[in-house]
Structure 1
Amino acid sequence: MTSNKSLRMDDFLAGWVGGASSVVVGHPLDTVKTRLQAGKGYKNMTDCVVTIYRKETAAGFFKGLSFPLATVTAYNSLVFGFFNNARRLICERRYGDERRPAGLADVTAASMLTGLASVSLGAPVDLVKIRLQMQTHAAVLAGTRASPISPAQFPLYRGPLHCVSSIVRREGLPGLYRGGGAMLLRDVPGYALYFVPYAVFCDLLKADATSEPHPCSIWLAGGLAGSISWVTATPADVVKSRLQADAHLHRKYNGVLHCILQSYKTEGAQVFFRGASVNAIRGFPMSATMFLAYELSLQFFQKF
């Protein structure tokens, strides 16, 4: 039997592998989702995809990829390591045995705590990713003879580290957590609607109560859980994206409530579901890849 200590390390390592895989798979649609939610004049998902490809080529879909890929080790280690530690602790406190299978209430509590903890690292990572993704073709040309646009309108970031330093210089350390409140509203219930459906679907897809789920079942359960989680989290995700894409020199929103009221006033209730179809489509392959890579990696690491 593997010790608790190695099990915790297994969760961290497997979370890194699963997270890295899911970022590569889901980043192109994540870029489309961010552009749609920030309200930059795209008619719909198809128009956004065509516009990005026409103006920025295929590379436009991978803007901001290096930063989430580089930081995915810490973030997904935190998410999966924290979730499994919290689940074990809850089982130990409730039943006196951390190895006892967790019930749905236990999984829900552990996942909501995970959502709360994940914002500490996830908010700065997401902010930098979105700021880099929002550097459109026009911004790239800003300040050149090819474009009359002033560089002040589009603060150019040379990369993730320059983006972080620019945000801290202009907005201070709290600037890295812009949109953090909306992220809490998204991730606390969002992780509950991520891990709970995954556990339910895995149980439903098992051949019998004692067997382990087949890799195909893990893939399907993870994909369905991801689609459910991301679609239900879309309203909070829209608010978070708008706050994080809000340029410091041309700020439109004073906070979460102001963003909600202004968005509703100018664009109606439908604005909070902008990008829902992208989230549903993107959520499936990302989460399917995430959970499958995580579970297979965990099985591999536990052999040592």
Structure 2
Amino acid sequence: MAQAQATPQSITTNKIALASLSAMVAETTTFPIDITKTRLQLHAATRPVTAFHVVGDILRKQGVTGLYKGLSPALIRHLFYTPIRTVGYEQLRHTFVSNDDRSLSLPTKALIGGVSGVIAQVVASPADLVKVRMQADGRMVSQGLEPRYSGSVDALTKIINTDGFKGLWRGVFPNIQRAFLVNMGELACYDHAKHFVIRNRIADDNIYAHTLASMMSGLTATTISCPADVVKTRMMNQVVSEDGKFMYRNSYDCFMKTVRFEGFRALWKGFFPTWARLGPWQFVFWVSYEKFRLLAGLPSF
């Protein structure tokens, strides 16, 4: 009886560990694209700048290591964020349907995907804040300025000293908005697309089905979440000015100022590197995660 009760807990623990491992592999592989996307979103519309310009500038001034500025907090973030959202999605999915998740409608999957993402993002937001600040620091170095932080611990300490413990959740609301949209598109679309591919015998439950599903979910998640991602990045990177004020009062103010001064298209600034990152990220993550689950004797996602 005790063994039977321990089995579900052991399965959940294995899913959490495998999700963390897969996420760290995917994050390390695609991080240079992520830092390119962040630099593009922080760049004001003073002159045309492309992803190739950003990468070239980083390599020229900081070398290859500059492409991994902020990797450590990104990996720490995924120790919490990815397991919570993926395992949480499965748990919520089974709450609605215990035997056949394919009967769930796409809107229902989108809702539970969004909710899972929100919960995960609230927990992981401090690590996300440190990651964005350190990525922005790399841009300051490329401009000949002194970096604000010497490392992840230094960034964490200075943020707490300057803004208090609550400052670790600066930008949490635009972060939550983005997390809801990303996971609504990513988790629901991957789940739905994979079962569509398998159900219509386009491919079996293998790497081909996982690749097709990850491509579709990556494009969907990027399209609907890019505006929130731009707002989130700018809100999290802003610091108190000399007169004690912030550039943006809230997410809405950031949204309106971005549109007013840079145009509506600025909300999709960094779209290509975002999509170029989400596509490979999801491919590496989902293929790894599904393979690890198979090797561990767990059912497919």
> 1:45 aligned to 2:65?
no
Q: 1:61 aligns with which of 49, 67, 71?
A: 67
Give the match for residue 285 of structure 1.
Answer: 280
- RMSD (Å) for aligned C-alpha atoms: 2.5
Cα offsets for 1:201-252 (capped at 9, x unmatched): 212332767x951122212311331232023210000000001111234631
Structure 2 letter corresponding to 1:178 = R
Listed as ranges, the matches of 1:1-304 within 5 Å are 3-39=7-43, 43-91=49-97, 98-102=98-102, 103-104=104-105, 105-136=107-138, 138-139=140-141, 154=147, 156-206=148-198, 213-249=205-241, 251-302=246-297
Q: Identity over aligned residues, as a percent?
A: 20
- What is the DSSP-based 3-state SS (H/G/I as helix, E as strand, rest coil) of the residue aligned with 1:254? coil
Q: CA–CA distance in 1 between the matches of 2:21 and 2:236?
A: 27
**Residue range with higher mean Cα deviation, 284-293 or 78-87:** 78-87
Q: CA–CA distance in 2 between the matches of 1:215 and 1:137?
A: 38
Q: Which has the higher contact order (CA 8 A, sep 6+)?
A: 1
TM-score by length of 2: 0.87
CA 1:52–1:297: 2 relative to 1, 3 Å: same
Cα offsets for 1:60-97 (capped at 9, x unmatched): 11100012123422222211221111111222xxxxxx
Q: Which runs of 5+ in 2 are unaligned?
A: none
Q: CA–CA distance in 2 between the matches of 1:22 and 1:268?
A: 33
Q: CA–CA distance in 2 between the matches of 1:281 and 1:3?
A: 39
- Residue pair 1:132, 1:157 contacting (<8 A) in 2 also: yes
Give the match for residue 95 of structure 1.
Answer: none
How far off is 1:129 after superposition? Answer: 0.4
Cα offsets for 1:111-151 (capped at 9, x unmatched): 1210220221232121110101111364389xxxxx6x5x5
Q: CA–CA distance in 2 between the matches of 1:83 and 1:207?
A: 21
Structure 2 letter corresponding to 1:280 = W
- What is the DSSP-based 3-state SS (H/G/I as helix, E as strand, rest coil) of the residue aligned with 1:206? helix
- Residue pair 2:57, 2:142 contacting (<8 A) in 1 also: no
Q: CA–CA distance in 2 between the matches of 1:240 and 1:110?
A: 22
- What is the DSSP-based 3-state SS (H/G/I as helix, E as strand, rest coil) of the residue aligned with 1:43? coil
CA 1:77–1:137: 2 relative to 1, 3 Å: closer
Q: How many residues were matched structurally?
A: 287
- Residue pair 2:207, 2:287 contacting (<8 A) in 1 also: yes
Q: Which runs of 5+ in 1 are unaligned?
A: 92-97, 142-146
- Residue pair 2:174, 2:231 contacting (<8 A) in 1 also: yes
